Amino acid sequence: MTDREYFYLISKILKLTDIDLSQYKSNQMRRRLEHFMSNMEFQDVVQFCSSLERDPTMVERLKDFVTINVSEFFRDPKYFSLLMTDILPIMLRRCTRLNIWSAGCSNGAEPYSVSMILDHLAPSSCHRILATDIDLKCLEKARNGGPYSAAEVKNVPKTFLDKYFVVAENGYKVVDEIRQSVVFKQHDLTKDFIGSGFDLIICRNVLIYLTEEAKCQLLHRFHHALKPNGFLFLGATEIILDPARFGFNLLYHNCFYQRATASKSLAVTSRTPTLAAARESNR
């Protein structure tokens, strides 16, 4: 696919789906689109675009393909253990009602994981958890609380699995108490406004797909959306090389950043059991 063909294709996709693929790394997205076209047995971009204009079903299949929807509960368990033992306890000591945004939430596994941890740390507490994604099909599964496959819940501690899930015909479903604690909304991270005043923003394994310009814009928006001393939780490979440029301090492990303020940032110390300990308690 030539540059001219690629830009023609993504302009057509923008018109048909309102998804702006120019915000994503072109090499990665080009390979994905070429793979999709090959599977659909199209070799010509113009012919493929003509087919998209005639076939709404193919447009929906393309939307499902180009949106990145890989997720599971407690993905990268050691980082969720840090969230449970260090970050959330700090936040709960300074505020009893947290305002949390899970950006690019995919099928809901991530915000539900956070809700389970909060219920474990502070039972009967009431928090606002907003979860957003561009993909309506993923949001439908998320709102329904599943069903989730065994692979998607493989990192869930047994105590959590027994307490927060029920066995369904096609896997596992989140119990109503947890399902109702999260509000799901369609949202395009590259262009839509979401609000401010968040104590925690979780956006994992999304930045790696964005262009450098789009990533910088998003980090600035995250900074403005967070409260003073609020936290940003990124994916393990999404390192911010110069966090101060965007108004953040790096905490540790390249995943957790805190919005910088004139006052000293809050110290991070472990005070609660880890997810590993939760697993061990069931053996």
Task: Give 160-173 pLDDT, tens digit per residue.
Answer: 999 999 998 889 99
User: 129 with 173, same domain?
Assistant: yes
Handedness of CA 97, 118, 153, 207 (dihedral sign): positive
Average the pLDDT over each of 46-60, 149-163, 166-180, 243-257 and give the range with the smallest value. 243-257
User: 222 with 101, same domain?
Assistant: yes
Under a CB-based contact definition with an 8 Å cutoff, are residues 204 and 110 in contact? yes
| Residue that finishes a domain, picked among 44, 66, 88 | 66
User: 107 with 185, same domain?
Assistant: yes
Judge whether 192 lies within some domain. yes
Under a CB-based contact definition with an 8 Å cutoff, are residues 59 and 257 in contact? no
Instruction: Using the predicted structure, report yes or no on whether residue 204 has a pLDDT greater than 80.
Output: yes
User: 83 with 57, same domain?
Assistant: no
Task: Select the more confidently predicted residue: 174 or 55.
Answer: 174
Judge whether 265 lies within some domain. no
Instruction: Using the predicted structure, report yes or no on whether residue 76 has a pLDDT greater than 60.
Output: yes
Q: What sections of the chain are H helices per DSSP? A: 3-17, 26-39, 45-54, 56-66, 77-82, 88-94, 109-121, 136-144, 158-164, 176-179, 212-225, 275-280
Q: What's the confidence (pLDDT) of residue 272?
A: 42
- Classified as helix, coil or strand, 79 is helix
Instruction: Using the predicted structure, report yes or no on whether residue 273 has a pLDDT greater than 60.
Output: no
User: 106 with 60, same domain?
Assistant: no
- The whole domain housing 53 covers 3-66
Q: How confident is the model at residue 274 (pLDDT cuts 50, 70, 90)?
A: very low
Q: What's the confidence (pLDDT) of residue 69?
A: 66
Domain count, the chain: 2
Parallel, antiparallel or unpaired: strands 128-133 and 99-103: parallel
Instruction: Using the predicted structure, report yes or no on whether residue 280 has a pLDDT greater than 70.
Output: no
Query: What is the average per-residue pLDDT within 131-139?
Result: 91
Judge whether 278 lies within some domain. no
Query: What is the average per-residue pLDDT within 163-186?
Result: 95
Q: At what angle do helices 45-54 and 3-17 cross, to 10 degrees?
A: 10
Instruction: Using the predicted structure, report yes or no on whether residue 267 has a pLDDT greater than 50.
Output: no
Q: How confident is the model at residue 269 (pLDDT cuts 50, 70, 90)?
A: very low
Instruction: Using the predicted structure, report yes or no on whether residue 175 has a pLDDT greater than 90.
Output: yes
Judge whether 214 lies within some domain. yes
Q: What's the confidence (pLDDT) of residue 266?
A: 47
Mean pLDDT of the chain: 86
User: 147 with 49, same domain?
Assistant: no
Judge whether 270 lies within some domain. no
Read off the pLDDT of residues 207-236 as tens digits, 9 standing for 90 and up.
Answer: 888 888 999 999 999 999 999 989 999 988
